[in-house]
Amino acid sequence: MVKASQAGDMVAFEELVARHRDKIYARAYSMMRNEEDAIDLSQEAWVKGWQRLKQFQGESSFGTWMTRIVINLCLDQLRKHKRQRTESIEEMNEDSGGVERQMPVVTVNPTAGLERGELRQRIDRALGQLSHEHRTALVLHEFQELEYKEIAKVMGCSIGTVMSRLFYARRKMAALLADLKRENSK
Amino acid sequence: MIDYKDQLKLQSYLDGELAESDSREVADWLARNPEAAALKTELDQTRKALSGFEDGIKLPESREFYWSKIRREIQRQEAPAPPRPSEPWLYRLRRFLVPATGLAVVGLLVLTVTRDTGSFDASVETALEDSGAFTYHDDTAGATLVWLSYPADNEIPDDDDLNSVD
């Protein structure tokens, strides 16, 4: 299918889009937290994918190659957004460092016993409360399964910053999920 | 309270980013330190909660509709730029006609002026040779023009005058 697409077969390419479209859209959605942006960016990624198909050497799976394209597009978009808005208080707190160091450890599993749909909903809400830098670090590590150095390269920061962002994101997620559990049990 | 550096080391251990010797060291520390063990459990739980999250996200558009937008954009970008309409011969000729017409107009003006001023009624003379003045007189137009050069020839000092010091 990939070979046929590389040869210019658009029917084969449409089949590739059909096979991977959910995954590419899901990655865009995880990063953007917005359905409309995720649809637009995932479509843009497919257009770019078609134009760069000849560069695909098969070193990774086609799906992984495509997710890299959509991640880069999302990062560009998020950087543009960031330039347009002032930093939130949340981000300033995170950058000044230390908040996550003092967070109490969540001892009870906040997602235990949840149905898949409900779990997804809570994670969705918690992810939405992270800054895009923290969310991106988490997405690249947990979903794209990149190593620290690869994340650093993609995000244009040091490995130390990746470690801090990842640690903050995880601890914040744990705290947010615990809060949601408390809210729901009231 | 666990040192921040150790917290990050624990995370690196969980992510498989540590060298073997460091991993062993962290494993020993975890066995001895309940606070560190609790943090490890929390980080593990979060990781597990996230796994499979994206599997449940589905594109909220039909295959046909989603693909149609992609196909349109690909076709739009691949479409060769529309060729510039070939210029009619008159347009091509225009680039030569414009300067030629300009030249012709200038030529006509020169001819007209020459013919007018070339009449026997007009004359040019140096009326005041000493002062470098020229006079032009046109009887037909009833006009007289005088050119004066300044300073006048007789006012230009000699080199000797310039070099002399009083």
User: What's the average model confidence in pLDDT over B9-38?
Assistant: 95
Q: Taking 80 as the threshold, does the pLDDT of residue B96 lie above it?
A: no
The rounded distance, in Å, linking the Cα atoms of A15 and A63 is: 13
Clarify whether residues A107 and A171 are in a common domain. yes
CATH number at residue A100: 1.10.10.10
pLDDT tier for residue B32 given thresholds of 50, 70 and 90: very high
Q: Chain B residues within 8 A (CB-CB) of chain A?
A: 1, 4, 7-8, 11-12, 15, 17, 35, 38-39, 41-43, 45-61, 63, 66-67, 69-71, 73-74, 77
pLDDT of residue B132: 61
**For residue A119, which residues of chain B lie inside 8 Å, CB to CB?**
49
Query: In terms of residue numbers, what domain contains A171?
Result: 89-185
Name beta bridge partners: B122: B138
The rounded distance, in Å, linking the Cα atoms of A23 and A42 is: 10
Name beta bridge partners: B106: none
* Backbone torsions φ then ψ of A56, nearest 5 degrees: -75, 115
Average pLDDT, chain B: 79
**For residue B6, which residues of chain A lie inside 8 Å, CB to CB?**
none
Q: Taking 90 as the threshold, does the pLDDT of residue B122 lie above it?
A: no
Token pair, residue A83, equals 């330039």
pLDDT tier for residue B43 given thresholds of 50, 70 and 90: very high
* Residue among B7, B45, B73 minimizing CB distance to A174: B45
Percentage above 70 pLDDT, chain B: 69
From A84, A108, A127, the end of a domain falls on: A84
pLDDT in tens, A70-89: 999 999 999 888 776 655 54
Cα–Cα–Cα angle for B64, B67, B73, rounded to 5 degrees: 140
B134 close to B125: Cβ distance less than 8 angstroms: yes
Clarify whether residues A114 and A159 are in a common domain. yes
CATH number at residue A16: 1.10.1740.10
From A22, A54, A84, the end of a domain falls on: A84
Distance from CA of B94 to the nearest CA of A (A): 42
pLDDT of residue B63: 93
User: What's the average model confidence in pLDDT over A36-44?
Assistant: 97
Q: Taking 50 as the threshold, does the pLDDT of residue B161 lie above it?
A: no
Closest CA to A30 of A179, A169, A178, A152: A169
Range with lowest mean pLDDT among B61-70, B116-125, B157-166: B157-166
**For residue B11, which residues of chain A lie inside 8 Å, CB to CB?**
163, 166-167, 170
User: What's the average model confidence in pLDDT over B145-157?
Assistant: 60
The rounded distance, in Å, linking the Cα atoms of B95 and A152 is: 59
Q: Does A119 touch chain B (CB under 8 A)?
A: yes
pLDDT of residue A25: 97
Clarify whether residues A111 and A67 are in a common domain. no
Clarify whether residues A30 and A101 are in a common domain. no
Clarify whether residues A96 and A168 are in a common domain. yes
The rounded distance, in Å, linking the Cα atoms of A78 and A68 is: 15
Clarify whether residues A69 and A101 are in a common domain. no
User: Which carries the bigger pLDDT value, residue A66 or residue B98?
Assistant: A66
The rounded distance, in Å, linking the Cα atoms of B47 and A44 is: 30
Reported in sequence order, the residue ranges of B3-161 that DSSP labels E, i.e. its strands, are 122-128, 133-138, 143-147
User: Which carries the bigger pLDDT value, residue A91 or residue B142?
Assistant: B142
User: What's the average model confidence in pLDDT over A52-73?
Assistant: 94
Clarify whether residues A59 and A116 are in a common domain. no
Clarify whether residues A69 and A107 are in a common domain. no
Cβ-Cβ pairs closer than 8 A, A with B, add up to 116
* Residue among A14, A30, A171 minimizing CB distance to B54: A30
pLDDT of residue B6: 93
Question: What's the number of domains chain A is made of?
Answer: 2
Clarify whether residues A132 and A51 are in a common domain. no
User: Would you call B66 and A109 a contact, using CB atoms and an 8 Å cutoff?
Assistant: no
Q: What is the reported pTM?
A: 0.69
Q: Is B132 exposed, middle or buried (0-12, 13-18, 19+ CB in 10 A)?
A: middle
Clarify whether residues A160 and A99 are in a common domain. yes
pLDDT tier for residue B37 given thresholds of 50, 70 and 90: very high
Closest CA to B50 of A156, A74, A21, A173: A173
From A35, A50, A84, the end of a domain falls on: A84
Clarify whether residues A11 and A64 are in a common domain. yes
Clarify whether residues A97 and A137 are in a common domain. yes
pLDDT in tens, A1-15: 889 999 999 999 999
Residue A161 CB: number of other CB atoms within 10 A? 17
* Residue among A17, A123, A171 minimizing CB distance to B67: A17
User: Which carries the bigger pLDDT value, residue A67 or residue A81?
Assistant: A67
pLDDT of residue A20: 96
